[in-house]
A and B are shown apart, each in its own frame.
Chain A
Amino acid sequence: MLKPLLTKLLNHLINQNLTAKEQLQPFASKSVNFRLPPLNVTLVVLEDGGLAIAGESSTPEATVTIPMSVALRLLANDEAANSLITLEGDSELAATLAKVLRGFSWNYEEDLSRIVGAMPASKVTSFGRKATEQVSAQAQNATASLTEYLREDQQLIAANYAIQQFLSDVDDVRDDAERLAKRLQKLEAAITEKLNKKPAA
């Protein structure tokens, strides 16, 4: 019963993101296989622009592979990680579906309002939003304090500017070493030339 439940959930989200339906409709009946080890799921675009889990005999038109390390970077909003996603087959279909899935947002206030009514739902979600903001701010403060303690007091981690300085110093040392090697080569060549010119006694 997992497929019907996931399909129901997907279409619930799609119905809350109406532009997604318009974007997907041109790809009706086509399916995309998402590989996010250890997960492997194939989604099919329905004729009304909805989404469903594909059936057992489905042959996907495109494949999207997202390694776990890339998935974690995507979750951390690292835009550069997008270039590490592998798309195979119908790339337009895969790219559209991946874009739609990343743009999904859950309108939980609307869902809650159906159960408890509009006003209580608005109050509950407003309270939830404020609580989340508070927790997030506290977490950021705690992280900053811990980072400062480890960097300044314990000197277990380095500051970004210190790492950049270190990298720049390494580059300078490498350039200096290369220059020195060239000068030594020149000197060796000059000595060899002088020794060859010296007439035999």
Chain B
Amino acid sequence: MSEESSTHFGFKTINENEKAQKVGEVFHSVARNYDLMNDVMSAGLHRGWKRFAVEISGVSAGGRVLDVAGGSGDMSRLFAKKVGDTGEVVLTDINASMLAVGRDRLIDAGLTAPALQCDAEKLPFPDQYFDCVCVAFGLRNMTHKEKALAEMQRVLKVGGRLLVLEFSQIWKPLAPLYDAYSFKLLPLMGKLFAKDADSYQYLAESIRMHPDQETLRQMMLDAGFAKVDYYNLAAGVVALHKGWKI
């Protein structure tokens, strides 16, 4: 396998062409229990992190928002309330099973946002269309992160913001405890609650392979964002990056 065509799938190295399919299988497998597992794994904290991301976005009524890898539609639901009837929120995900969960939850909440199955590396939207693009817990599953970031930058208007909410590097003194939680407890919880230990093993591994706060900040700057700031949440378990297109 050549260096150029290989990528990470958790701790494994696989061919680039296989990653999307393998990640797809993982999310197809966890889609039904996705919300339950998120609440169990983060003790409900993921809801607060998502609300904070929406608060920080600076989106106001009438705004246009793109939710990339929106999965269960949590972010779309929060943004839809913020932009109101005059605004527009588009939910996208590469995985049909996850997108179906998100679309159904939006409908159940009485919201009508378009749900599109598409690849974040080839977004089917014109240049400078959105006021805000967000990707929550999705970037680490993308094969070519640089390409996806460049696409998100392309579809943003000048003055638009990209929000990346993603697992990151925890504060060093807590790392041993976090490792024990991730590699012992997480697969066990996956087995007990979702009957799928392997997918949650992948989750723990993919978090470790994801770029840390400073590396992701630099990647966003390289993708064309003029300014990038980040917030460490829960001692760095999660980081929220905000990039401005100026």
Contacts and interface: CB of A to CB of B under 8 A. Distances in A.
17 contacts: A3-B52, A4-B48, A4-B49, A4-B233, A8-B55, A11-B55, A29-B244, A44-B229, A46-B57, A46-B58, A47-B159, A48-B58, A48-B59, A52-B55, A52-B56, A56-B231, A57-B230
Given A55-B230, A56-B232, A57-B230, 15 more contacts: A1-B233, A3-B231, A4-B52, A4-B233, A7-B56, A11-B55, A46-B56, A46-B57, A47-B60, A47-B131, A47-B159, A47-B161, A48-B59, A57-B213, A57-B217
A28 interface: yes
A5 B1 CA distance: 48
Interface residues of B, number: 27
Contacts of A50: 55, 58
A58 interface: yes
**Nearest 4 CB-CB pairings of A with B:** A47-B58, A46-B58, A55-B229, A48-B60
Contacts of A8: 55
Interface in A44-84: 44, 46-48, 50, 52, 54-58
Contacts of A54: 229
State the majority secondary structure of interface residues on A: loop
B56 A58 contact: no
Contacts of B51: 4
A48 B230 CA distance: 19
B242 interface: yes
Nearest to B58: A47
A48 B79 CA distance: 14
Interface residues of A, number: 19
Contacts of A48: 58-60
Contacts of B48: 1, 4
A165 to B, nearest CB: 59
Nearest to B51: A4
Interface in B25-73: 48-49, 51-52, 55-60
Nearest to B132: A47
A4 to B, nearest CB: 4
A11 B52 CA distance: 11
Interface in B101-131: 131
B174 to A, nearest CB: 15
A47 B49 CA distance: 19
B195 interface: no
A47 B52 contact: no
B163 to A, nearest CB: 11
Contacts of A1: 48, 233-234
Given A57-B230, A58-B229, A7 B161 contact: no
Nearest to B159: A47
Contacts of B213: 56-57
B75 to A, nearest CB: 15
Q: For B59, B232, B234, B242, which residue has the most chain A Cβ atoms within 10 angstroms?
A: B242
A62 to B, nearest CB: 16
Q: For A8, A11, A52, which residue has the most chain B Cβ atoms within 10 angstroms?
A: A52
Contacts of A57: 213-214, 217, 228-230
B147 interface: no
B81 interface: no
Q: For B51, B60, B240, which residue has the most chain A Cβ atoms within 10 angstroms?
A: B60
